[in-house]
Copies of this chain bind each other. A is one copy, B any other.
């Protein structure tokens, strides 16, 4: 069981938690991941730029974090790109132990912070300062380089049913959807995968989160599960059909990991961050997990 070093930032990708049954359990893990061993009171920032109501969005998190013993919880609300490029604002993020990107609209979030000093500070916190970067709902989708921006496909995967935008890029070649089972979003995710087979699909249920320890492995926590979709070997007619038409998909690999599930990369040592996770990823999901946990460099 190894203890993380200063190089090992980690991610907590949360599927939204309207019901909030597991919020405190998930937030307790966030506090642990942000604090690290012997550091029980991390310096936490709530980044609320996905929402136009930052105080309302932040309040339940502030209250829950206070109950969990966090004494330093700062709200950062860059409301426009000028604010997101303010060095003083970015500084607060770069020096946080844990940053939670709250929900709202991921398009608003990225239109506000994408490519700014705040964006850069998030990457520095993750990759240089061993911080935990968490995102919930819109904040979760924005963690991918290719961000699921909008769209819906309730009953069938269809061409053009969902759109991509440029996300934060903590993980690459992956598209993240949230509120996944509760909002029946598998067809929305498949719609994107059909047109973008080199993206892996990651769907996270409400009250559920995925811990991603870079270079080590993953763990599912909370109440629901995580769905992985791998269309790399898929046969599809998506390129040939018209906008809005239902797509044919043959040979999609589907994996469902419930809470408690988790895997290490082949050869990785068990870590204090991934609790009770000691099994190596089996062959069908090795490439997915290897990609998900890749230590993408600071760009």
Q: Do B186 and A285 have beta carbons less than 8 Å apart?
A: no
- A184 partner, pick from B184, B245, B249, B250, beta carbons under 8 A: B184
Q: Do B252 and A255 have beta carbons less than 8 Å apart?
A: yes
- A282 partner, pick from B235, B245, B282, beta carbons under 8 A: B235
Give the bracket for the number of chain A residues in contact with chain B: 35 or more
Q: How far is the CA of A248 from the CA of B249 in the complex (A)?
A: 23
A249-B254, A252-B254, A255-B250 known; A181 vs B157 contact (CB < 8 Å):
no
**Chain copies in the assembly?**
2
Residue of B nearest to A231 (CB): B254
A233 to chain B, nearest CB (A): 8
Residue of B nearest to A153 (CB): B181
Q: Do B156 and A256 have beta carbons less than 8 Å apart?
A: yes
Q: Do B261 and A248 have beta carbons less than 8 Å apart?
A: yes
A115 is an interface residue with CB less than 8 A from chain B: no
Residue of B nearest to A233 (CB): B284
Q: How far is the CA of A187 from the CA of B282 in the complex (A)?
A: 22
A155 is an interface residue with CB less than 8 A from chain B: yes
Contacts of A187 in B (CB 8 A): 181
- Which residues 235-274 of A sit at the B interface, judged by CB distance below 8 A? 235, 245-259, 261
Counting chain B CB atoms within 10 Å of each CB, which of A155, A157, A249, A256 scores highest? A256
Q: How far is the CA of A250 from the CA of B250 in the complex (A)?
A: 17
A–B Cβ pairs within 8 angstroms, 30 of them:
A154-B181, A155-B181, A155-B182, A155-B205, A156-B181, A156-B205, A156-B256, A156-B258, A181-B187, A184-B184, A190-B256, A225-B246, A235-B282, A235-B284, A246-B258, A246-B259, A247-B258, A248-B256, A248-B258, A248-B261, A249-B255, A250-B256, A250-B282, A250-B285, A251-B253, A251-B255, A252-B254, A252-B256, A253-B253, A253-B254
